[in-house]
């Protein structure tokens, strides 16, 4: 009689005790070997682009490389530029399913960011565009070098720092985007490349957000 394969164990999850937020962290969502393979594959196969952002009327290079993938109807506008989704790849679908299974949320698109070294970063912002819904659910997967991730409460001004390592998954849901902004600060210390994937659910019926701050 054939035996049924044993289910894989669920990675440990840490829930952050933050006011006005639903934030959870899986430090080892992806095993080391698989995370290494995913990093190599995404680094080589993704069509990375360096975009421009207009800040106070000045056109500047975004300090990281980006790519946008998703379902066909997930057109997304940020930094004043409309982004048509590229198709899902096998690796992106694998990580999408992992994020959905761990967080319990559905995602139909992903923004990929490549931080080449410490000179690349992301300023303070919130993922709160109208097309992400009333309570956006964001799943952030990190591959490669560990980078500091900062969460700051909009009114309390309290700051929480997290070190997001290779294979980690951070979930931000519920009212988090309304009460917090987040950032990946630049650093002068030597640091390797990092790929970050932020899975989200874009509503095709909502108006595209415009004039957003540089996204992460």
- pLDDT for the residue numbered 126: 94
Residue 175 domain boundaries: 14-200
Q: By CB neighbour count within 10 A (0-12 exposed, 13-18 middle, 19+ buried), where does 86 fall? A: middle
Strand pairing category for 159-164 and 147-153: antiparallel
Strand pairing category for 138-144 and 147-153: unpaired
- pLDDT for the residue numbered 77: 75
Separation between Cα atoms, residue 127 and residue 76, nearest integer Å: 12
- pLDDT for the residue numbered 66: 94
Indicate the number of domains in the chain. Answer: 1
Residue 53 lies in a domain: yes
Tell me, what CATH number does 47's domain have? 2.60.120.590
Residue 8 lies in a domain: no
Q: Enter the pTM of the model.
A: 0.88
Residue 51 lies in a domain: yes
- Degrees (nearest 5) of the Cα angle 180, 60, 108? 50
What's the order of all strands across the beta sheet hosting 122-125?
122-125, 180-184, 147-153, 159-164
Q: Spell out the per-residue pLDDT of the chain, length 216, in tens.
A: 454 554 556 889 999 999 999 999 999 999 999 999 999 999 999 999 987 766 667 777 888 999 999 999 998 876 667 789 999 999 999 999 999 999 999 999 999 999 999 999 999 999 998 889 999 999 999 999 999 999 999 999 999 999 999 999 999 999 999 999 999 999 999 999 999 999 999 987 654 343 333 344
- pLDDT for the residue numbered 207: 40
Q: Which of 198, 216, 78 is nearest to 143 (CA)?
A: 198
Residue 208 lies in a domain: no
């Amino acid at each position: 009689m054939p035996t049924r394969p044993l289910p894989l164990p669920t990675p440990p999850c840490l829930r952050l005790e933050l006011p006005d937020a639903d934030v959870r962290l899986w430090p080892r969502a992806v095993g080391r070997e698989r995370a290494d393979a995913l990093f190599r594959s995404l680094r080589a196969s993704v069509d990375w682009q360096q975009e421009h952002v207009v800040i106070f009327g000045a056109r500047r290079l975004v300090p990281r490389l980006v790519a946008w993938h998703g379902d066909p109807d997930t057109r997304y506008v940020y930094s004043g530029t409309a982004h048509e989704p590229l198709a899902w790849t096998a690796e992106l679908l694998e990580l999408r399913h992992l994020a959905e299974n761990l967080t319990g949320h559905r995602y139909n698109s992903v923004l990929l960011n490549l931080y080449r070294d410490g000179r690349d970063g992301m300023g303070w912002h919130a993922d709160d565009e109208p097309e992400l819904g009333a309570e956006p659910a964001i799943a952030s997967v990190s591959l490669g070098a560990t980078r500091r991730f900062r969460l700051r409460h909009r009114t309390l001004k309290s700051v929480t720092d997290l070190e997001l390592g290779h294979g980690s998954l951070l979930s931000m849901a519920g009212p988090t985007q309304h009460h917090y902004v987040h950032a990946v600060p630049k650093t002068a210390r030597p640091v390797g490349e990092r790929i970050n994937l932020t899975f989200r659910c874009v509503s095709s019926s909502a108006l595209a957000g415009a004039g957003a701050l540089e996204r992460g």
